[in-house]
């Protein structure tokens, strides 16, 4: 899905990526988690997406810091723990994207008015 603005064609993915300053890997992980609709650990994500665990861990850390993904710690019976990840509320994410687009829209309007 894309939007056209005058001479510029903008893919919907770019709107999401720009709204949260996501790179391609972070964006793909976010979509994967949105579509999975359940908690997943790094190992399972790594296997399903054929990505290195360290790449996923780094991206998950950033997605968690950006408040898009929730990290849940599960303690193991024999000691240790595993982190599971799940996307935060999709409606909240949509609201944040809409706010970002509104902010951009207002900035553009201000530029035009002051031109």
Residue 100 lies inside a defined structural domain of this protein: no
Q: Is the pLDDT of residue 84 over 80?
A: yes
Residue 63 lies inside a defined structural domain of this protein: yes
Enter the pTM of the model.
Answer: 0.85
Residue 57 lies inside a defined structural domain of this protein: yes
Percent of the chain exceeding pLDDT 90 equals 77
Range of the domain at 80: 23-88
Cβ atoms of residues 61 and 47 within 8 Å: no
Which tens digit of pLDDT belongs to each residue from 19-75? Answer: 999 999 999 999 999 999 899 999 999 999 999 999 999 999 999 999 999 999 999
Structure tokens at 20: 């949260």
Per-residue pLDDT, 111: 84
């Amino acid at each position: 899905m894309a939007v056209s603005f005058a001479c510029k064609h903008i893919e919907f993915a770019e709107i999401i990526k720009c709204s949260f300053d996501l790179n391609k890997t972070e964006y793909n992980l976010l979509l994967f988690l949105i579509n999975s609709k359940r908690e997943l650990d790094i190992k399972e994500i790594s296997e399903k997406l054929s990505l290195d665990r360290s790449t996923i861990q780094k991206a998950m850390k950033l997605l968690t810091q950006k408040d898009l993904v929730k990290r849940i710690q599960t303690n193991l019976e024999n000691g240790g723990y595993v982190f599971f990840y799940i996307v935060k509320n999709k409606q909240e994410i949509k609201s944040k994207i809409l706010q970002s687009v509104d902010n951009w829209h207002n900035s553009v309007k201000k530029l035009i008015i002051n031109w």
